[in-house]
Structure formats: C-alpha cells, structure tokens
Structure 1
Amino acid sequence: MKNIFIFLTVICLFSCNSSKKSDEKKLKIGATMLSMQNEFIVNIADEMQKKADELGAELIIVDAERSPLKQIEQVESFIAQKVDVIIMNPIEFEASSPAVTKALATKIPIINVNSATSATPTAFVGSNDVESARIAMKFIADKLGGKGNMVMIHGLMGQAAQLQREEGAKEVLKQYPDIKLIAQQTGEWDRAKSMDLMQNWIQSYGDKINAVFAHNDEMGLGAVKALQAAGQKDKVLVISVDAIKDALASVQKGELNATVFQNANQQGAGAIETAVKIAKKQPFEKEVLIPFELVTKENVGGYLK
C-alpha cells in the first residue's frame, strides 16, 4: 500500500511539473495591425491566428485604426505585458518607426509584416512593393501599346507600400515617355474615397484617361464603379494590387482588368513562424520576401477559391 502511495505521488509530481513546464513554454505574441476594416489586412491577421493556434502560441491582435500614435501606444502596452515577440503591420514608414525602436530598447524582438519602417526591425516578412507596381505598369504599357494617358490612385501617403508602389510605377514610366501621368492623388486605401476621386477626374479629363493604376484593390474597385457609372469602363484599363476576393470576382467578370496577387496567407503564417523561431532562439531569416503574381481574366480561375 505504501509503495502504491509513493508511486502515485511520483506520477502526480511528474504530471504537475510537466503541466507547469508546458504552461511556461507557451509563447505570447502581440500583434498590432494597420486596420481591421481593410480586407487584405484582415486576411493576414486571420492567417496569423491560424498559424499561432497550430504552433501553440498565444496571439493578441489589436487594431491600430490607421493611427501611428495608437500603434506606438499598443507596442508600449505589449512591452508592459512582457510578450515574447511583437509583430507590427506598420501604418507609416516614418511615424511607426518609434515603435520598433522602443521594442528593441527593451530587448523584445519585433517583426514588421507586410509593410516597412525606416527603423530596422528584428525581421521583415512581406513582399517587395516596388515589384508590384512594376508588374502593374508593364501590364498597362503593354495594353496601351506604350502610348496614352493614365492616372494613379495612391495609398495612404507616407506608408511604405504607397512610397514603394509610387517608386515602381515611376521607374517603369521613365521607359515609356509616351505614357503620360496626368493626375495622381491618394485614395487612402479606401473604396468610397477612390470612387469620389475617380468621379472628379472623369469630370476634369473626360475621355482623356486611358488607364488607372490603383495601389490596392479597394481603390481599384472604387475606380471601376465610378467609370461604370459614367459609361466609360470599356474604354479605360484598371489594374490594382492585392487580389482580394472582390477583385478576383471583378476580374472574372471582365470589370477590373487585372490585379497583382499579394499572398496574405504566406505573409501572416510567415510572421508567426518567424516569431516562434526568434522566441525559441532558433535560426531565422531576417527578411522573408514573397513574390507578387499578375492575375488576369485568363488565369483568375487558379486564384478563386
């Protein structure tokens, strides 16, 4: 009887210690996202949650609501909570940078996902936004035969994606002197604002516009809606970036002429995988770049789920 009691006590102690060790090993990751009103960002966040659940990590996701100040405060809150790793989806290239500096000063690793900051984080997981614009602009140049007028709808000014997509677009434009950029303005990544902006351009330029490059699909779809209302969509090319569900459906219908696929799933999963490797002191890549892909009516079927 005494031996059985000792045996059960040992089993209990072993299980309690194992359980305690298991609890201690659970990693805590804090993530601050640009805006949970943006479909593409939500797709990244959903994939982050799925991967965190799969790897047994606790993930706290907060919405910075397009405010760099709020984003910095959220990072400060994660620092106070002593999370193991912070993931940031930066709102602005410069204005979100202090968050990176603050995290690194407290020895908490910070990963930028999808967008960059001027301050260098522990790691970056995303895509080369310059390349997305090169793909879009080469599509426009080919379809226009190297000649025509275009307008460009920018993302939120000062954000890395906006800066880099502008850079890529203007780099290609230099190769095609007969394609004129006759107007450019921000649509702030927003469908309704871009629809209003496009309506204003239609009133100003009439049928002089041959193509639209929108920095994301929300804005591209806004432009399509404005052109349809004006009866001009058949005469104007529209291409945008991200390949969200609405954009893929629009490409399939022949409304949006093309979109540039950006892999939200790989970005989200990659951010969590990198965070876990860093926390466990395992080797990790400081920069994970996921390629963009052109999606047209001819190949859209492969991207629809």
Structure 2
Amino acid sequence: MRNNYSRLTATAGLLAAGALVLTACSGTASSDGGGAASDLPESVDLKGQTVASLFTSLNNDYYSSWDQGAQRAVEAFNGEYVAMTNEGDPATQISQFQQQVDAGVKIIFVTAPDPSSVGEMARIANENDVCFANTWESVPWESPFDFGDQYVTYHSNHSYQAAYDTVVSLFDEMGGEGNFVHLTGHPGSTPDTQRTLAVDDALKEYPDITLVDRQPGEWNRDDSRNAMAGIISRSGKDIDGVFGQNDDVAIGALNALTEAGIEDVPITGMDGNEGTMELIQAGDIYGAYSSLPQWSAGFSFVQALDACMSGETPAPLNRQLWSGGIFVTADNVDEYLDTYVGDNDPYDWVKMSRVAYPDDWDPQNKVEVLNMEEMWSWEPQPAGYELPEEYSAALPELDATNAEWDEHWKLLRRD
C-alpha cells in the first residue's frame, strides 16, 4: 500500500443523480469527542480533504445514526464529509463509489445493501489506490485478502452472538415457554443469515418455545407490520414473544400487534435506535441489542484513515474484525440514552487512531479478530477453497491480537 495522503484531493461535485448527499466543513473543538480536534496530530490531519461514506438510506434510524457518527468522526480529523445513499440498489452504490474515486477521493467506507456490490468496490479501490473499509456485508468465505491491500478492513458486529444472547433473554422473559414469532430482515444478507442461525440454535435449547411463524420483515417497519398482521390473521392472537431482526422490524411487529388489540407481548429488536429506546422506556418493547451504529461508522473510517495516512496495510488479523455492543432493557435504557444516542457523542474519535496515538490508541468498544471458520460455518466452502495464506499464517497470534485490543480498550469500558 502506497502512502495516499499526498494524493488526497477534494471531491468536485461528481455525484450520482438522485443520490442524497450531505457535506459538512470541518470545525474546531477538543479531542474529547465531537468535532475536529484543536490539537490534532499532523500525522492524521486531513486538512479539509474529502472522505466519502456510502450506505443504504436515511429513511432508516440505524443509518441515520451511522451517518451521524461518520460525520463526527471525519470532522474530528479535519476532513470534509460526503454521504451518499443507494436506497437498497447495489448498482447505484457501485456507480457512486466509482464517481467518488474519479473525483479523487482516497478514503471511502461503506455498508452495502447486500454482499453483491462489495467485490466490485474492492476491485475499484485496489486499482485506484483508494483506502476502502467495509462494514456488515460480505460474500461467504470472501475476504479483503482476495482483492488486495487497499481493501483495508472488513468489520462486522458479532451478529450471531448478539442475536443468540438477545433471543435467549427474550425466551427467558417469556418464562421459557409459549408461542414465538420470528420476523427476519432481507433474506441472503450477512447479518440476517447469522441472526436466523442464532435463533434456530436457541430454539433447540428451549423445547417449550414453539416457533409459530417466520416471515421476512425486509429491515423496515411497513413490510414487518404487514408480515406480522398476516401471521396474526393465520395463527390467531395467542402470541407470547416476537424477535425482530432489527429495530424497525420490531417496531413494525409492535404496530401490527397494537392494531390487533394484542398487548403485553415481549418484543426484541437489534440496532439501538433512539425511537426503540423510547419504546423500551414506555414498556412497549422488552429489549434491543445495540451494535452502536455511530461507533461502527467512525471505527470503520478510522481503520481506512490509518492505512492511508501510514501507507501501511493493517496486520493480517486486523483486516477482519468483530465488534461488540450493548443489550438494552428497562434496566439500563436511561443510561444508554444519556450516553450514546442523538446529540451525545461520547467517543474520542482521534484516540481510536493508531497513527495518531501509537502507544495508547483506544477502540472504545470491544473488538476482536473475526474467526473466518466460525463466521462462515453455515456456508459450505467453495470447491478447492483454502483460507487466505496471510490469515492462516497469522492465526498463532490470534489470542495475542485479541488481548491487544482488550488491553487498549479504556474509554467507555463495559465489564
């Protein structure tokens, strides 16, 4: 990886028709979180250069939070932030990515609407010396090593573990028995598949929980409301618990249950959006797992930034990472809202950077090495497949790498 810093140039308005674009000039604030640091180290000062974030939509609370964290993080490094949405169309995202590259942008971090666009963006990045970081979606058994050094990092919340812990809490809230409905997300997406596997594994451990129905909620309130209404029509009102694959799905289920006059059904979601937290406060939703969307966006950006500023590709085990989150119920919802949501910005974004703080960088969340064989255990390996050589050679250092991440986590520590 060549040092791209000297080649960073500002975007000059080459934007896709119909795409939502937000730009913000960098500000001046302290490095304690929120805004650009007045004592920003020269090694990571973007000096107004453009950084692009590509994601699905702002008509979704999760991505609104992602956008907020992304902007705050970029501005903390004196960058000019550009956001572009694809409204669920992979081809649009690829076009937007190419246009940002053509405009000279050298740091791009994304979430994809599904895995299909990731490989093409990685190819474009590698051919054009763009530092590319990707969150959530990936084709099974594919990795950054398949595309070159410019695909800096693939990062995902540990969706299987998060969903398993969430649904077990829901089953316990149901008293370990009763009729259960599972509303999924978009079939085929990476987190949807892993969350469904987690629910299935939990069901095996709770024989008195009956899966009444499972329908796709498509990550949004309208589809999930319609799906839940159909389940109620077919199966009746004897429903004791609902697992929504994300927060909007959970809220859609709640809306359908309310319209049918069904009350006091524990519902869980996964995202950690402000509206969901307010429903938890009101007692309408039992709980939701937060993958800390603002943090996820900023962390993804910082991984790409460090690679660009240093000219060095991360160590092999740091190119695929899992992160943690918080399960929120009535017991901790007030603290969560006061710390992580809306105008609250608890993160010291610059402190996340290993380039800015070589000795005392801090991820400010749980981070660990993504285990490829565990991550993709549900999908058979392609014929003749072998784990990437660099990754396999580094596996003896897995425990030490995880320990390093853990030792550096000081701010916002949750034990």
Verify: 1:232 aligned to 2:257, yes or no: no
Equivalent-residue separation in structure 2 for 1:292 and 1:24 (angstroms): 29
Deviation of 1:228 (Å): 1.6
Pairing 1:276–2:315 present: no
Residues in 1 aligned to 2:64 and 2:216: alpha-carbon distance in whole angstroms: 22
Q: TM-score, normalised by structure 1?
A: 0.85
Paired position in structure 2 for 1:49: 71
CA distance in 2, matches of 1:255, 1:54: 37
Equivalent position of 1:300 in the other structure: 333
1:92 aligned onto 2:114: yes
5+ residue gaps, structure 2, are 1-43, 145-151, 339-415
Counterpart amino acid of 2:273?
I
Secondary structure of residue in 2 paired with 1:149:
strand
Rounded to whole Å, the distance in 1 between the matches of 2:278 and 2:47 is 43
Higher helix share: 1
CA separation of 1:95 and 1:173: change in aligned 2, threshold 3 A:
farther
| 8 Å contact from structure 1 (residues 94, 158) kept in 2 | no
Instruction: Give the greater-gyration-radius structure (CA).
Output: 1
Cross-structure match for 2:132: 110
Aligned-pair CA distance for 1:288? 4.3
Distance 2:207 2:129 in 1: 50
CA 1:37–1:231: 2 relative to 1, 3 Å: same
C-alpha RMSD over aligned residues: 2.2
Cα deviations by residue, 1:137-175 (Å, 9 ceiling, x for unpaired): 111221233322211111122222212211221122222
Question: Quick one: structure 1 residues 131 and 28, their matched pair in 2 at CA, closer, same or farther if it must change by over 3 Å?
Answer: same
* 2:229 aligned with 1:206: no
Runs of 4+ in 1 over 6 A off after TM superposition: none
Task: For residues 218-276 of structure 1, give each alpha carbon's deviation from its aligned partner in whole angstroms, at most 9, with x where no partner exists.
Answer: 11111112112222122x22111112111111011111111112211211221222121
TM-score (norm 2): 0.64
The corresponding residue for 1:6 is none
Structure 2 counterpart of 1:120, one-letter code: S
The aligned residue for residue 30 of structure 1 is: 52
Seen in structure 2, the aligned counterparts of structure 1 residues 104 and 203 have a Cα distance that, compared at 3 Å, is same
Cα distance in 2 between the residues matched to 1:247 and 1:38: 12
> 1:67 deviation in Å?
0.5
Tell me, in whole angstroms, the C-alpha distance in 1 between the residues paired with 2:228 and 2:308: 46
Deviates more, 1:293-302 or 1:277-286: 277-286
Contact 1:71/1:96 (<8 A) preserved: no
- Structure 2 CA distance for partners of 1:209 and 1:304, relative to 1, 3 Å: same
Which runs of structure 2 are paired with 1:123-202 in the superposition (5 Å)?
A: 123-202=153-232
Q: From the superposition, tell whether residues 101 and 182 of structure 1 become closer, same or farther in structure 2 (CA, over 3 Å).
A: farther
Q: Specify whether residues 213 and 23 from structure 1 end up closer, same or farther in structure 2 by C-alpha distance, changes over 3 A only.
A: closer
Deviation per CA, 1:24-45, whole angstroms, max 9, x where unpaired?
A: 9654322211112111111111
| SS, match of residue 112 in structure 2 | coil
Instruction: Provide the rounded CA distance (Å) in 2 between the counterparts of 1:154 and 1:120.
Output: 25
The yes-or-no answer on 1:249 pairing with 2:282 is no
CA shift, 1:202, in A, is 0.9
Task: Give the Cα separation in 1 of the matches to 2:208 and 2:126.
Answer: 48
| Structure 1, gaps ≥5 residues long | 1-21
Q: Is the 8 A contact 2:183 2:249 kept in 1?
A: yes
2:391 maps to which residue? none
**Aligned residue-pair number:** 282
Which position in structure 1 is the counterpart of 2:382? none
Identity of aligned residues (%): 23
Return the offset for 1:292.
Answer: 2.2
CA distance in 1, matches of 2:57, 2:137: 15
Moved more, 122-131 or 276-285: 276-285
Q: Does 1:65 align with 2:87?
A: yes
> C-alpha separation between the residues in 1 aligned to 2:321 and 2:50?
22
* Aligned mates of 1:163, 1:29 — CA distance in 2: 31
In structure 2, relative to structure 1, the CA distance for the partners of 1:244 and 1:287 (3 Å cut) is same
Partners of 2:217 and 2:167 in 1: CA distance:
18
Hey, what does 1:3 align to over in structure 2?
none
